[in-house]
A and B are shown apart, each in its own frame.
Chain A
Amino acid sequence: MTLAHQTLALQTLGLSKSFGGFRANSDISLCVARGARHALIGPNGAGKTTFINLLTGVVPATSGTVRLLDEDVTRVSQQGRVKRGMARTYQINQLFADLTPIETVGLAIAEREGAGARWWSRVGQNSAVVDEAEALLTRMKLGEVMMWRTATLPYGKQRLLEIALAMACKPKLLLLDEPAAGVPEDERHDVLDSVEALPQDVTVLLIEHDMELVFSFADRISVLVQGQLFAEGGVEEISTDPRVKAVYLGEDAHV
């Protein structure tokens, strides 16, 4: 039992969230193995965003527990979960428009190293932070634009910065919320490559609409429908499951 636990990066047990009378998530028990490429799919309004907010601690769960790397983090703050190795990206860019990528990523690295609140040293003086930020941005194909204002970056570069910023937290578990959403075709390649090139020791939970990306990236898939876990299995299993097809293609597929 303990051995089984140790191989899990993330585990939820009976996780539920109600907003008034509306059950956005009900009784979700999900296991994500360490090093997995796990995808969470589901139609619009299935409760995927609520589920991420419960995992990251943005909203408190109504009931149930969240375990991160075999530790109960249900009552741990958002920042506490980041420090314990959970990072996320956003479906709609949540970046610092006025800062440059080097500042943005440096900020996250400094924070991780406990140097983010220093008020007497200058930004840029901590060479360990700057070097790491530069290396990360170069790896994420942002080397050439790292001194631009974020607001002026092309959309695809901003999506890459979303992922780079999460990686700057050195996560053990990375929650990717539709990383390729809205990226124009000519920049899409860069984003998909970066997702593909994420280090193997980082566990990834991918929330995605794009089935092509899910089937090529994930080794395990969970389907969320109306706030509940509807199906779970390997790629082959899910892609041929008639019930999942029905959910995605509409009522007609039942016939």
Chain B
Amino acid sequence: MLSKPPSTRPLGAQAPSPAAFLQARAAWRWPEILFWISAFGLILLFPNRHLLLNEIAILGLFALSLDLILGYAGIVSLGHAAFFGVGAYAAGLLAKHGVSEPVTGLLLSGAAAGLVGFLASFMILRGTDLTRLMVTLGVALIFHELANRLDWITGGADGLLGISVGPILGRFDFDFAGTTAYTYSLTATFLLFLLARRIVHSPFGLSLKALKDNHLRAATIGIAPNRRIVAIYTLAAVYAGMAGALLTQTTQFVSLEMLDFARSADALLVLVIGGSGYLYGGLIGAIAFKLMKDTLSAMTPAYWIFWMGFILVILVLIGRDRLMATLARPFAPLLKLLGARRP
């Protein structure tokens, strides 16, 4: 008998409040949770693939680091390996000279790379994409040559030998199968991802997007671009340095290859494959890139680089978006749910 007056507003058609709308951007979506559960679940599965998975986690973190500056702040770089290398050598030198606990080494290496990134960031404040490409490339070349020449510190072309990494937090020893290594790298990547996710959804993160979108207007509404760019570039350098440190610690070796141009290029390729500006591009791209490389080099050991190049040219010419839409239609909604603007 108690009948309420009918609601004037149609059910389920209510527009969200602006605050709810804005905050929904940062909400966790279930495919994200699934992604991380699967990643951690792999610790228990495929023990013979843990070395490869470890490399994927590290490449993913490295590409994530590049995504922070490229995808969010619009800063192009061809020399991101400089920071990877600084972190890698720092971790190697620390382990060689007494700091054998990996987590301590990881944090210190990140700080070292961050310091270098902070100093380097002042060179990319001004200028066009082309100047930034050249400056970042030049910085990476300088570090490569420094590591080559300062052989009494770095071991030069022979690489840094005699690195002994202790158990993580004094408890977990590295094993030959790479299970500890993968668990360690994945945990570090996950924690750094959480921090990055928090930052890109903050007012600071939004201001970076604004800077990328329209530099001129951002300045007109009072955003001083330089400090923001220095901050994100330094953070990205810390991330890259930690990725380098993880590789050193889990392989117990550092060589000039850590500073190679090819490594900078790989990070860009990974973002081309996975997409930039939604954080998962680096991780998904790293998986695709490593699996492609692994499969191709098993199929045609002599020509895998040819096929890799071929696939990348196709990918860029046809466009990842269109290729995704046609070849991998089932994945498109997944990517959309993960938060990609254009899956």
Contacts and interface: CB of A to CB of B under 8 A. Distances in A.
A98 B218 CA distance: 13
Contacts of B20: 124
B210 A146 contact: no
B335 to A, nearest CB: 17
A119 B21 contact: no
A124 B221 contact: no
B18 A133 contact: yes
A102 to B, nearest CB: 5
B22 A107 contact: no
29 contacts: A56-B220, A77-B224, A82-B221, A87-B221, A88-B220, A94-B216, A94-B217, A95-B217, A96-B209, A96-B214, A96-B217, A97-B214, A98-B209, A116-B204, A116-B222, A118-B203, A119-B202, A122-B22, A122-B26, A123-B22, A124-B21, A124-B25, A125-B23, A126-B203, A127-B19, A133-B18, A147-B15, A165-B217, A165-B221
Contacts of B15: 147
Q: Interface residues of A toward B: which range?
A: 35 or more
A98 B18 contact: no
A83 to B, nearest CB: 6
Contact of B222 (A96, A98, A104, A111): A111
Contacts of B21: 102, 124, 147
B209 A124 contact: no
A102 B22 CA distance: 8
Interface of A: 56, 77-79, 82-83, 87-88, 90, 94-99, 102-104, 106-108, 110-112, 115-127, 130, 133-134, 146-147, 165, 168-169
B221 A98 contact: no
A126 B22 CA distance: 11
Contacts of B220: 56, 78, 82, 87-88, 90, 94
A104 B211 CA distance: 11
B227 interface: yes
Contacts of B231: 119
B96 interface: no
B203 A123 contact: yes
A168 B205 contact: no
Nearest to B207: A116
A116 B206 CA distance: 9
Contacts of A99: 206, 209-210, 213
Contacts of B26: 122-124
A98 B210 CA distance: 8
Contacts of A98: 209, 213, 341
Nearest to B15: A147
Given A78-B220, A103-B206, A108-B221, A97 B213 contact: yes
Nearest to A106: B22
B201 interface: yes
Contacts of B228: 117
B97 interface: no
B305 interface: no
B199 interface: yes
B222 A117 contact: no
A119 B223 contact: no
The 10 closest A-B pairs by CB, nearest first: A124-B22, A82-B222, A119-B204, A124-B23, A94-B217, A108-B221, A96-B213, A119-B202, A130-B19, A111-B222
B219 interface: yes
Interface in B207-245: 207, 209-210, 213-214, 216-224, 227-228, 231
Given A82-B220, A96-B209, A168-B221, A122 B23 contact: yes
Contacts of A112: 222
Given A102-B18, A116-B204, A147-B15, A111 B223 contact: yes
Interface in B171-206: 198-199, 201-206
Contacts of A96: 209-210, 213-214, 217-218
B222 A79 contact: yes
Nearest to A119: B204
B214 A119 contact: no
Contacts of A123: 22-23, 25-26, 201-203, 205-206
A224 B214 CA distance: 29
Contacts of A126: 203
Given A123-B25, A165-B221, A110 B203 contact: yes
A13 B322 CA distance: 57
A242 B221 CA distance: 40
Nearest to A89: B220
A77 B226 CA distance: 13
Given A111-B222, A124-B22, A118 B213 contact: no
